Structure 1
Amino acid sequence: MPLYKSITPNSQTTVKIWKIEESYDDLLTSLDLKPESLSRVLGMKSELHQRGFLSVRHLLREFGYTDQDLFYDENGKPHLKDGKHISITHSFTFSGVIISDNEVGIDIEMQREKIAKIAKKFIEYEFEYLDTEAKDYINKLTVIWGIKESLYKLFATPGMLFREHFLVIPFSIKDEETVCWIDYNGLKKRYNSHFLEFEGFTCAYVIK
């Protein structure tokens, strides 16, 4: 399937989402991968991960980039050679890429009940406004996880912890946006965060 969704949250930022329906062979055939990228994808044990990796390269093409334009730093954070900021995600049958003039992070997660079992590992402050009996509790947990994962990707700094260092301000699912903060080693920064739901998945992204 071609592009599933394209979003332009502001004039400097674009989000593109791909629904992965193609086979591994179909995704691979039309791509020109760097030797290290080809080695990486061939070394993946899961075809689901292989297809996610390759679909991201197709999303790059939607932006006008190729695999040769992408590189990773020592912390595993992706960068583009032209200096634009990029963040990448894939989960099961969806992948997403956000590219901006500003620092960004993105995450896609499947909405699953089991997230409630690990909530205490990534939430502290947010429990003050969450209703564990509400119908949208799982959806809200998934949004919070996605926002914090996006912040983590944006900073790519070892030592940052979801529970202690990232805060998500109260929100409603229908608003599709909220504010989040990082509070880490004296560093305090505010970010705008956005989220959307589709086909049992949640995509969240943050923009500096």
Structure 2
Amino acid sequence: MITYPGVMPRPRSGSGTREAIHAAATRLFREQGYARTTVREIAAEAGADPALVIRHFRSKELLFLETMHLTLDDEPLLAVPLEQLGERFVEVLLDQEDLSRGVFLALLRGSNEPQIAERLRASHETVFVEPLRARLSGPDADVRARLAGALVGGLLYALWAVGDERLLAAGREELVSRYGPLLQQLLTPASDR
């Protein structure tokens, strides 16, 4: 909110204030994480009083949970044959880095809070496991999908949380061509081919 000397700012509506707080929190949580973001910072960014943050969202943790949702556009995963799903899944994850990285890191770093840990578990299930399990069949489909979800979660952890410089330097094409087949082995084991 821009203010000018001697001019009182025009009060926003309740929904305008709520939206401003939501937008500020989304940006700050993605950039700084849960622990390093304060209610005062969110309020200052939104041009609101800190009491309004609590009034609208009840707590910093509930505001975090409302703003941090990890998603994946799984539509591209449905269009490829199962035998190509490993590489395609890695491509989709890497292509959505701008949308997912901040949320993934915020959830990971805030996971010492019980509700945030539960959101991280639910996100892992819906973003990594369910899209893979939907494409698999057989008695061990659930275990294979969970192992594959752990594999891709490990890649994102190494790239985004650890910041493994050698992996980052490898580039998208090399990551897809090397990591995709590892994922594919879990999705379609040799016994299924």
TM-score, structure 2 normalization: 0.26
More helix by share: 2
Q: Which has more radius of gyration?
A: 2
More strand by share: 1
TM-score, structure 1 normalization: 0.25
**Larger relative CO (CA 8 A, sep 6+): 1 or 2?**
2
